[in-house]
């Protein structure tokens, strides 16, 4: 019998890149060979974004990454779009608390 879910690794040309802007984090995940309905985004412990993709096609594989964010990531308002090759995820950033400064004394 054949396995339902492949244990194969993701394609070697899969990757994830994270960019930081003043008002958001941008993630670009390259997922060649995956379909939109096989991609799952989940939030864990209010600070971890879990990205999972599975392909049941011949030569398919399993892609899984966990990205940890700090206090300023608004993981309730995550937006994502997939164009058939790249998953683009936008995580808005919350403004810093009043009186907070990122400069060292």
Complete domains list, the chain, with CATH: 15-92 (2.60.40.790)
- Where the chain has pLDDT below 50, the residues are 1-5, 105
Alpha helices in 31-87 (DSSP H): none
d(CA 94, CA 73): 6
Q: Give 65: exposed, middle or buried? Use CB within 10 Å, 0-12, 13-18, 19+.
A: middle
| pLDDT given at position 14 | 82
Rg (CA), the chain: 16
| pLDDT given at position 103 | 57
| pLDDT given at position 2 | 46
Question: Closest Cα partner for 69 from 43, 95, 88, 87?
Answer: 43
What residues contact residue 34 under an 8 Å CB cut-off, 6+ apart?
53, 54, 55, 60, 63
d(CA 4, CA 54): 11
| pLDDT given at position 20 | 93
| pLDDT given at position 8 | 61
The 10s digit of each residue's pLDDT in 48-63 is: 999 999 988 877 788 9
């Amino acid at each position: 019998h054949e396995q339902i879910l492949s244990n194969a690794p993701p394609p070697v040309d899969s990757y994830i890149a994270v960019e930081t802007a003043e008002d958001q984090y941008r993630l670009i995940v390259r997922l060649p060979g995956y379909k939109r309905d096989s991609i799952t985004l989940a939030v864990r412990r209010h600070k971890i974004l879990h990205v999972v993709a599975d392909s049941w096609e011949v030569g398919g594989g399993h892609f899984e990454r966990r990205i940890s964010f700090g206090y300023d990531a608004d993981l309730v308002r995550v937006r994502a779009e997939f164009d058939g090759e790249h998953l683009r995820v936008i995580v808005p950033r919350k403004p810093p608390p009043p009186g907070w400064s990122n400069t060292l004394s």
